Homo-oligomer: A and B are copies of this chain.
Amino acid sequence: MKREERGTLLSFRPSIRVVDATLRDGGLVNNFAFSDAFVRALYEANVHAGVDYMEFGYKSDASIFDAKKYGKWKFCREDDIRAVVGENATPMKIACMADVGRCDYERDIGEKGNSPVDMYRIAAYITQIPAAVAIAEHCKKLGYETTVNLMAVSNASEKEISIALELLGDAPVDVIYIVDSYGSVYPEEMRVLAEKYLEAGEKYGKKIGIHAHNNQNLAFANTIECTALGVDFLDATMSGMGRGAGNCAMELLLGFLKNPKYKLVHTLAFVEKHMRALREAGTVWGYDVPYLLTGILNRHPSSAIEFLRRGRTDYVEFYRELLDQE
């Protein structure tokens, strides 16, 4: 993208797409135990707020994961999506995530035809790119939009990222996502990453996306820094709900974007009614000291999640434990 097309703080770029990932990343907090009323209200709120894509959850393999242990959005059956969106006679598109190694895409993802799903987002670690490309080829052939979300980019070398971008450049992938899984990337580093992805995107005709985590209170900052440089696909979740420290909050993002099609008030109304209720019922996510520590040390948040689940508050001891694993 040429610099003059990137927009300024007072203009907007029509190519921006906001992706609501509340059910998918938020589902990692509560095992996808969202009520039908919540999901329906979320769909309505997103449509009215002008959100471009709503991700319903994972397309997980029910032979691997016991359906009794998870809510339905771990599996995203088309009938379940239909029950919420009907004909989805709205401008908003529907996405699902296919996790490399955790889905049986050949069995579970069929012809676009009458499917309510518009886009499959394929999550992969950088070592799993061939597998991700295979899923993308499958989905593209069947008529879906595709993204590949390269997770844990903070653990990959510059060289690995270059190779990954070349491989994805040649693949049937519409959007390549920067994913800061551990919330460890500072804006200064994020801008370097974004420029690198955008360069590849320009070369191969791909859009670039950003999915940020809030371990260091940087999810929103990193998202809007990417936006200013030309990253078009922006992930956000209601109240930042997502694994561990969570994601970029939708209410922050829509408050920032200048495109008049985005309407903050509908997001606010949803947060007021539904996200507060979720928190009050005991669902816990968002910035907290243990996530800061795994973020600083560039680690998966699992140990911090466990620390909080056990009700521990001994931050210094936790920090020592993390350092012992260096």
Q: Which residues of A contact B (CB under 8 A)?
A: 9, 186-189, 214, 216-222, 224-225, 228, 249, 251-252, 255-256, 264-265, 268-269, 271-272, 276, 287, 289, 292-293, 296, 313-316, 319
**Across-interface contacts of A187 in B (CB, < 8 A):** 187, 221, 224-225
| Majority SS at the chain A contact face | helix
**Across-interface contacts of A9 in B (CB, < 8 A):** 186, 188-189
Query: Are A255's CB and B216's CB within 8 A?
Result: yes
Copies of this subunit: 2
Query: Are B319's CB and A265's CB within 8 A?
Result: yes
29 contacts between A and B (CB under 8 A): A9-B188, A9-B189, A186-B224, A186-B256, A188-B224, A188-B225, A216-B220, A216-B252, A216-B256, A217-B219, A217-B220, A217-B252, A218-B221, A221-B222, A251-B289, A252-B292, A255-B292, A255-B296, A256-B296, A265-B316, A265-B319, A268-B289, A268-B316, A269-B315, A269-B316, A271-B289, A271-B315, A272-B313, A272-B315
**Measured CA separation A25–B20 after assembly (Å):** 35
Query: Are A218's CB and B216's CB within 8 A?
Result: no
Tell me, rounded to whole Å, the shortest Cβ–Cβ distance linking A243 to chain B: 18
**Across-interface contacts of A271 in B (CB, < 8 A):** 289, 315
Query: Are A249's CB and B217's CB within 8 A?
Result: yes
**Measured CA separation A272–B313 after assembly (Å):** 7
**Across-interface contacts of A265 in B (CB, < 8 A):** 316, 319
